[in-house]
């Protein structure tokens, strides 16, 4: 009998395993594919590695912007993927060592819960049975499909196809879905000089982000030659020789057709619970995702869920890890550590995007009295040194006491800067307290200090 069984070894699962083992618990961790899950093998890490290579390519081509006459710059698509694979493998090796050091029993294969009662859970994997007092489900998510004819054609791809292994070298790509995954993939391919079109169902790309940010990224992508159709209703995919064509209705209601070498479906992700429960086990699910209470308890006794598989969660790696730390603490009768309410979100375009807390529009909707300060990148030495498209940092504070309530950034290193602002909000800091801290010069962080100064 194990103290804790964990199904799925993505960021949620391996974090939970490490936290549990460090508390002296005996842990069994099931993984049907690769240690590191979606994030490490076909998500966060590969996208960012490929974005770095594509940025290096653009910078090499535009060397003259930095005083470097460059010519004969060659793209090596395979080498770019080889670099990505090297990074992924090195991180996975590190995880393997950590699990070994933690004495976590790693079981390769697809796990199924066959019984769950007040005393324990029985899990079958391969032809072996495992019993555990507590079970944590961390099975993550898989790409969501859309019900249109032609979706099954070869050449219709998911993010898994373009990120794993050697990737897909396509001269043209239609991306259905303009969320974070669609936009980051568009950025990679357009930077490599490929012809990219985004078809997005909503009125704008990056729908959950602040409107002004979405407009900025829309402008940036268009400037980088990405064609964007919003309010597009995709009807069908057809194949003509080795070309795929997508038929859709545009904003005006006109029927259109565009063709490319590949079609990427980036319409979101769906919780993975297929085959996870034997027929006699009835966990409460919502569109395949596990319904849980605030502590992560599922409807089954001693069964918990963390990460992308939990209903209503924000599907991000850092959220999965935060939930893992909290669930293990609850199981071990300790106080929770992580504040799960405050979630930074990032897009790794150039310039980068990051957001935390409320936006100006949300503040208005909620009738909150606020003050805002906006600082443009053109006034910041480090941003000008870095180069690239212009952007801004917007800070939102409560009108009465100056507490920081939110921040939206489109600037170099926005995804690093957002950490400081997240701490400021989590610690109820005021604009005056932020402004009182010396920020080193020249750094992009000075944008924060400058905006805070404007609010006092």
Catalytic residues: 441
Q: Tell me the C-alpha distance between 393 and 175, whole Å.
A: 29
**181 lies in the site for ligand FAD, by CB under 6 A:** yes
* H-helix or E-strand spanning residue 409: strand 404-411
For Cα atoms 286, 292, 294, give the angle at the middle one, nearest 5 degrees. 135
**167 lies in the site for ligand FAD, by CB under 6 A:** no
Q: Tell me the C-alpha distance between 177 and 156, whole Å.
A: 13
**178 lies in the site for ligand AMP, by CB under 6 A:** yes
- Could you say which of ligand FAD, ligand AMP, none residue 9 binds, taking C-beta under 5 to 8 angstroms by partner kind? ligand FAD
**178 lies in the site for ligand FAD, by CB under 6 A:** no
Q: Tell me the C-alpha distance between 404 and 412, whole Å.
A: 22
> For 210-237, what is the HEC assignment?
CHHHHHHHHHHHHHCCCEEECCCEEEEE
In the list 167, 177, 182, 307, the residue contacting ligand FAD (rule: CB under 6 A) is: 307
**418 lies in the site for ligand FAD, by CB under 6 A:** no
Site for ligand FAD in 81-140 (CB under 6 A): 110-111, 138-140
Binding mask 38-77 for ligand FAD (x = CB under 6 A): xx---xx--x------------------------------
Closest contact distance (angstroms) between CB of 232 and ligand AMP is: 6
Measured between alpha carbons, how far is residue 209 from residues 74, 89, 369, 401 in Å?
35, 32, 21, 26
Query: Quick one: 196 or 320, whose CB is closer to ligand FAD?
Result: 320
Query: Quick one: 12 or 262, whose CB is closer to ligand FAD?
Result: 12
**307 lies in the site for ligand AMP, by CB under 6 A:** no
**202 lies in the site for ligand AMP, by CB under 6 A:** yes
Measured between alpha carbons, how far is residue 152 from residues 145, 148, 237, 408, 419 in Å?
10, 9, 9, 39, 41
- Could you say which of ligand FAD, ligand AMP, none residue 62 binds, taking C-beta under 5 to 8 angstroms by partner kind? none
Measured between alpha carbons, how far is residue 109 from residues 73, 91, 129 in Å?
44, 21, 12
In the list 17, 99, 137, 181, the residue contacting ligand AMP (rule: CB under 6 A) is: 181
Query: Quick one: 163 or 431, whose CB is closer to ligand FAD?
Result: 163
Please give the sequence-ordered ranges of beta strands (E in DSSP) within 359-403, or none if there are none.
370-376, 392-398
- Could you say which of ligand AMP, ligand FAD, none residue 237 binds, taking C-beta under 5 to 8 angstroms by partner kind? none
What radius of gyration, in Å, describes the C-alpha atoms of the chain? 23
Question: In terms of Cα–Cα distance, which of 389, 391, 377, 353 is closest to 444?
Answer: 377
**Helices (DSSP H) in 43-179: which residue ranges?**
44-61, 77-101, 159-163
Binding mask 158-177 for ligand AMP (x = CB under 6 A): ------------------xx
* H-helix or E-strand spanning residue 319: helix 317-331
Question: In terms of Cα–Cα distance, which of 295, 62, 315 is closest to 193?
Answer: 62
Closest contact distance (angstroms) between CB of 142 and ligand FAD is: 8
Question: In terms of Cα–Cα distance, which of 99, 122, 103 is closest to 111?
Answer: 122
**247 lies in the site for ligand AMP, by CB under 6 A:** no
Interface stretch with ligand AMP, choices 36-44, 99-107, 194-202, 358-366 (CB under 6 A): 194-202
* H-helix or E-strand spanning residue 124: strand 121-125
**19 lies in the site for ligand AMP, by CB under 6 A:** no
Closest contact distance (angstroms) between CB of 342 and ligand AMP is: 19
In the list 109, 165, 207, 301, the residue contacting ligand AMP (rule: CB under 6 A) is: 207
User: Interface with ligand AMP by CB under 6 A: which residues?
Assistant: 146, 176-181, 199-202, 207, 234, 267-268
User: Interface with ligand FAD by CB under 6 A: which residues?
Assistant: 7-13, 30-33, 37-39, 43-44, 47, 110-111, 138-141, 159, 163, 181, 272, 276, 307-309, 315-318, 320
């Amino acid at each position: 009998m194990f103290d804790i069984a964990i199904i799925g070894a993505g960021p949620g699962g391996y974090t939970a395993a490490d936290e549990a083992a460090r508390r002296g618990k005996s842990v069994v961790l099931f993984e049907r594919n690769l240690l590191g899950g979606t994030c490490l093998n076909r998500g966060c890490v590969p996208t960012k590695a490929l974005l770095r290579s594509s940025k290096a390519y653009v910078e090499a081509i535009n060397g003259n912007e930095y005083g470097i006459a460059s010519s004969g710059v060659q793209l090596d698509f395979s080498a770019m993927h080889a670099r990505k694979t090297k990074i992924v493998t090195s991180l996975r090796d590190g995880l393997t060592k950590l699990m070994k050091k933690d004495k976590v029993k790693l079981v390769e294969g697809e796990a199924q819960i066959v019984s769950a009662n007040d005393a324990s859970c029985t899990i079958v994997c391969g032809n072996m049975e495992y019993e555990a007092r507590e079970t944590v489900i961390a099975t993550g998510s898989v790409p969501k499909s859309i019900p249109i004819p032609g979706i099954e054609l070869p050449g219709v791809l998911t993010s898994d196809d373009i990120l794993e292994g050697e990737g897909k070298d396509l001269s043209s790509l239609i991306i259905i879905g303009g969320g974070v995954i669609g936009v980051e993939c568009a950025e990679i391919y357009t930077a490599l000089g490929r012809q990219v079109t985004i078809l997005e169902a909503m009125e704008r790309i990056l729908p959950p982000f602040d409107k002004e940010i979405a407009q900025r990224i829309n402008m940036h992508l268009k400037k980088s030659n990405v064609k964007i159709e919003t309010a597009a209703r995709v009807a069908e995919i057809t194949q003509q020789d080795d070309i795929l064509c997508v038929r859709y209705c545009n904003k005006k209601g006109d029927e259109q057709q565009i063709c490319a070498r590949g079609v990427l479906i980036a319409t979101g992700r769906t919780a993975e619970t297929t085959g996870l429960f034997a027929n006699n086990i009835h966990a409460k699910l919502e569109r395949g995702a596990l319904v849980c209470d605030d502590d992560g308890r599922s409807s089954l006794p001693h069964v918990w869920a963390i990460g992308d598989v939990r209903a209503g969660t924000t599907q991000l790696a850092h959220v999965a890890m935060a939930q893992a730390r909290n669930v293990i603490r609850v199981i071990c009768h300790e106080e929770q550590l992580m504040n799960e309410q405050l979630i930074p979100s990032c897009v790794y375009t150039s310039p980068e995007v990051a957001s935390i807390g409320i936006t100006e529009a949300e503040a208005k909707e909620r009738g909150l009295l606020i003050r805002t300060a906006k600082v443009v990148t053109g006034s910041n030495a480090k941003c000008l040194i870095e180069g690239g498209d212009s952007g801004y940092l917007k800070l939102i504070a409560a009108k009465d006491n100056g507490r920081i309530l939110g921040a939206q950034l489109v600037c170099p290193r926005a995804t690093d800067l957002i950490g400081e602002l997240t701490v400021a909000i989590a610690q109820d800091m005021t604009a005056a307290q932020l402004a009182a801290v010396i920020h080193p010069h020249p750094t992009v962080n000075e944008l924060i200090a400058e905006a805070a100064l404007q609010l006092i």
